Amino acid sequence: MDLAALLALNVINGAASLFLLCLGLAIIFGMMRIINLAHGEFVMLGAYAAVLSANAGVNIWIAMLVVAPLFVGLVGLLVERCLVRFLYGRLVDSMLATWGLSLLIIGIVTTIFGNTMQGVPTPLGGFSIGDYRTSWYTLFLLAVAIVMMAIVYAVLRYTRYGLIARAVMQNPDMAAVLGVNPTHVYMATFSLGAAVTGLAGGVLAPVSGITPVMGGAYVAKAFITVVGGGAAIISGTLSASGLFGFVNQLGAYFTTPVYGEVILFLSAIVLIRLLPQGISGRFFKGTV
Amino acid sequence: MSDTAKLSVQIAAVLVACIAVALMPGYVDLFQLMQFTLFASMAVLALSLGFIWGFGGILCFGQTAFFGLGAYAYAVAAINFGDSTPAILMAIIVPSLFALALGYFVFYGRISDVYLGVITLTVTLILFNVFNSTAGDEYTIGVARLGGFNGMPAVPTFNMPFDPSGILFPEHSWYVTGGVLIAVYVGLRLLLRSRFGRVAVAVRENETRAALLGYDPRVVKLWVFVLGGAIAGLAGALYVNWGAFVGPTIFALSLSAEIIIWICIGGLGTLIGPVVGCFLIQYLVSQIGSQQSFNSNLILGAILVVFVVLLPKGLVPTLRNLILSGWHLVGDARRKGAEAKRNDLAAGQPVGAE
User: Is the pLDDT at B337 greater than 60, yes or no?
Assistant: no
Closest partner residue to B125 among A104, A110, A220, by Cβ? Answer: A220
Find the farthest-apart pair of alpha carbons in chain B and give their distance in angstroms, rounded: 75
State how far the alpha carbon of B233 is from the alpha carbons of A55, A288, B65, B73, in Å: 47, 44, 9, 9
CATH of the domain at A260: 1.10.3470
Mean pLDDT of B223-246: 92
Q: Which residues of A lie closer than 8 Å to B, measured between beta carbons?
A: 35, 83, 86-87, 91-93, 95-97, 99-108, 110-111, 216, 220, 223-224, 227, 256, 258-259, 261-262, 265-266, 268-269, 272-273, 276
pLDDT at position A288: 62
In single-letter form, the type of residue at position A216 comes to: G
B105 contacts on A by Cβ (under 8 Å) = 269, 273
Closest partner residue to A101 among B109, B133, B301, by Cβ? Answer: B301
Q: Is residue A24 part of a domain?
A: yes
Assess contact for A157 and A288: CB atoms under 8 A. yes
Mean pLDDT of B114-138: 81
pLDDT at position B347: 43
Q: Which residue of B has its CA nearest to A87?
A: B309
B118 contacts on A by Cβ (under 8 Å) = 220, 223-224, 227, 272
pLDDT, averaged across chain B? 84
pLDDT at position B292: 61
Q: Is residue A288 part of a domain?
A: no
pLDDT tens track for B129-155:
888 888 777 777 777 778 777 888 878
- Segments of chain A scoring below 50 in pLDDT: none
Query: Residue A113 and residue B93: Cα distance in Å, rounded?
Result: 44
Q: Is residue A265 part of a domain?
A: yes
Assess contact for A77 and A141: CB atoms under 8 A. no
Report how many domains make up chain A: 1
8 Å CB contact of A107 and B301 = yes
Q: Write the DSSP string, chain A.
A: -HHHHHHHHHHHHHHHHHHHHHHHHHHHHHHH----TTHHHHHHHHHHHHHHHHHTT--HHHIIIIIHHHHHHHHHHHHHHHTGGG-TT-HHHHHHHHHHHHHHHHHHHHHHH-S-----PPTT-EEEETTEEEEHHHHHHHHHHHHHHHHHHHHHHHSHHHHHHHHHHH-HHHHHHTT--HHHHHHHHHHHHHHHHHHHHHHHGGGS---TTTHHHHHHHHHHHHHHH-S-HHHHHHHHHHHHHHHHHHHHHHS-HHHHHHHHHHHHHHHHHH-TTHHHHHHSTT--
Q: Choose between B27 and A121: higher pLDDT.
A: B27
Query: Residue B108 and residue B102: Cα distance in Å, rounded?
Result: 10
Q: Is residue A136 part of a domain?
A: yes
pLDDT at position B348: 43
Q: Is residue A51 part of a domain?
A: yes
User: Is the pLDDT at B93 greater than 90, yes or no?
Assistant: yes
Q: Is residue A141 part of a domain?
A: yes
Cα separation of the two ends of chain A: 37
Domain membership of residue A233 as a residue range: 2-283
3-state SS, residue B145? strand
Angle, helices B336-347/B315-334, rounded to nearest 10 degrees: 150
Split at pLDDT 50, 70, 90, the class of B82 is confident
pLDDT at position B151: 82
Q: Is residue A139 part of a domain?
A: yes
User: Is the pLDDT at B340 greater than 70, yes or no?
Assistant: no
pLDDT at position B197: 92
3-state SS, residue B246? strand
Q: Is residue A9 part of a domain?
A: yes
How many interface pairs between A and B have CB atoms less than 8 angstroms apart?
A: 118
Closest partner residue to B309 among A83, A91, A224, by Cβ? Answer: A83
Half-sphere exposure of B225 (CA within 13 A, CB side): 29
pLDDT at position A286: 61
Mean pLDDT of B178-191: 93
pLDDT at position A124: 73
Mutate to test the interface with B, among A96, A112, A213, A221 (most CBs of B within 10 A): A96
Q: Which of the residue ranges A91-95, A280-284, B219-223, B320-324 would you say has the lowest mean pLDDT?
A: A280-284
8 Å CB contact of A110 and B295 = yes
